[in-house]
Amino acid sequence: KNLKKLSTGAALCSVLALLLGTVAPNTARAEDAAMEKLANFPSEPLLKKLRERLLEKPVCAPHCASILRAHFEFSSSSFQVRLRVDAAAETAIPLPAGGRDFNAEWVQLDGVETAGVILHGNKLWLMVGPGTHEVLIRGNLPPKETIEIPLPLKPRRITANAMGWTVHGLLEDGLAADNLQLSRIREVEEAQEETLEPGSLPPFVRVERSINLGLSWRVTTEVARVNSSDTTVVLEVPLLPGESVTSEQVRVKNGFAQINLGPGVRSVRWKSVLSESDGLVLQATESVPWIEVWNLSASPIWHVEAAGIPVVHTPIESGHRARRWQPWPGEQVSLKITRPKGVEGRTVTIDHSVLSVAPGRRATDMTLKLRIRSSQGGEHPITLPAGAELQKTLINGVEKPLRKEGDAVTLPLTPGSQDIHIEWREPRGISTYFKNSAVDLGVESVNASLEMGSMSGRWILFAGGPRLGPAVLFWPVLIIFGLVAVGLGRIPLTPLKTSHWLLLALGLTQASALPAAVVAGWFVFLGWRKSSSAEQSKAAFNGLQILTVLWTIAALSILAISIQKGLLGTPEMQIAGNGSSYSQLQWYQDRNASSLPQAWVLSVPLLAYRFAMLAWALWLAQAMIQWLRWGWECFGTHGYWKEISIGKRKKTKEAATTTEA
């Protein structure tokens, strides 16, 4: 039994040991995993999230604090500033005591002196928590005449008590400019004492006024620094009589614009309106730390007469010259301003007109283009020729459904410039004497052009109209050719009589002067060749024969071309003037009455020209038979060609040499 008990106990111990051996490693592993988790806690994403939550800016940022009230107390050598600060979250505020000459030596927050003040970027910062706080600042003032007080966070209301100082930049309603400035008040005896102290040059600026006289009078004033920009400039600039400032950033008190230029601010500008008057006086102020510049620009509706100092001449920009003055202190300019009265006249002006006439066989198409300027809206009638049929009307490129009322077309006008395009047709065609119909514009006009085209089926003989227009130069050329023909008819070298030369010149007018001279010279040369002496060298004789052949070919070619051009081409009437040609006649007149200029053309059908040239060609063919026979006689009078033997010359020279020997 004992053995059984021992064996049973041993078995139980073995099982227990086995169980403990199995559980122990598992427990160790769990502990290692837990330690590993603790080592990696908190995780990187959680740390990042906590960091963002810790560094998250408040909702009110960056305007979490404001200075409700500020009270400044100044003595001759010290200052005290009491601030009431309201903060919505923990934040830092800049104190008005971080300037170059205005430094705090002691800062108290809610009755407790604080060390949480940091000087950063030339600004003194104080850390405050949420709520309302009282801040007290004390310090000493340097022995200077002017001291600048920065206001990085401008209080909503400022009060000041100053003994021995004048505070600039503080407005009557408790508001202030961007900076305050203290000016020491000196007694007369104290001011006369000779003292030496380091200091900087006082600020100096340039005040430039630009006056623009238009439909409304406006003034633009600019105050710009002349010296360094690291000091505060507080000025009171006087306004012009009747000037009202419209820029909201500039305050006005008792007729003065209160200007405050903080450190780093180079200039300030404001705009104003000026009440109209018959005169304006510009006066340069004396004993002030600035210089003045005056610019005046007046529109054509105003006439300005200036008296006083002379004008400074400036370059012309954009075709407009403005008057400019640069006065010395105390100088002035008096301006007398008047508005010229309008002259009674028309409200409609026609700047340009083009009348195009295209005559056909049975009808004539006409086009009128106008450029009209009107100062007011209304209607303007234009009278067309009797029986004209209106085709189309365009105003500024837009077709308008207008109708004729009698012979008039009424155009609707609006203020401004308008381009008018009117087309109509007349029930009459081209004739021997054609003159365009009259068109009445209703008012006087300028720059009228008249164009007459589509004359290709006509032989234009004469044309007339306004002085600046085309001229038919054929008739002067024909007269010159006739005079030359009369002179050639008196030369006995040729069988051509004066009548022959005249008829020949009549056809050669369709060519230029040079071809006509070639033909006339050919006849004279043949006559001279016949009457010339036979005593010529063989080389010269043969050269003249070759020249005769070539000249004959050129002359006959010119005559053939003249016949072909006359029978198949268009008449060369040598029409020129004002850009005109045979197919387009153009006239121009600078000033016109209410009716547009008229022009006329004398022409015949082109078939008449063809018959005339055919008759000339038949006469020339009949005459050339006799002239060519005469020309052949002239060509062979002394023979047609002379041989030159080079071998015989050599033998003759050798024989002569032998004889001499």
Tens of pLDDT, residue by residue over 618-628, are 998 888 888 88
Annotate 633-646 with b (16+ C-beta within 10 A) or e (fewer).
ebbeebeeeeeeee
Residue ranges of alpha helices (H) inside 211-351 are none
Predicted confidence (pLDDT) at residue 448 exceeds the cutoff of 60: yes
C-alpha to C-alpha distance for 93 and 120, rounded to whole angstroms: 12
Strand order in the sheet with 404-405: 378-383, 408-413, 404-405
Give the per-residue pLDDT at 660.
59
Residues 6+ apart with CB under 8 A from 105: 138, 139, 140
Chain mean pLDDT for the chain: 83
What is the three-class DSSP state of 281?
strand
C-alpha to C-alpha distance for 647 and 342, rounded to whole angstroms: 105
Phi, psi of 243 (to 5 degrees): -90, 135
Give the per-residue pLDDT at 410.
92
Give the per-residue pLDDT at 481.
87
pLDDT tens track for 365-408: 999 999 999 988 889 999 999 889 999 999 999 999 888 888 89
Rounded to two decimals, the pTM is 0.49
Give the per-residue pLDDT at 17.
46
CB 255 within 8 A of CB 239: yes
Whose tokens are 């809610």? That residue is 110
C-alpha to C-alpha distance for 207 and 225, rounded to whole angstroms: 9
Give the per-residue pLDDT at 15.
44
C-alpha to C-alpha distance for 582 and 471, rounded to whole angstroms: 10
What is residue 134's DSSP assignment? Answer: E
| Greater model confidence, 191 or 542 | 542
C-alpha to C-alpha distance for 233 and 99, rounded to whole angstroms: 15
Q: Is 339 exposed, middle or buried (0-12, 13-18, 19+ CB in 10 A)?
A: exposed
Give the per-residue pLDDT at 229.
63
| Greater model confidence, 432 or 232 | 432
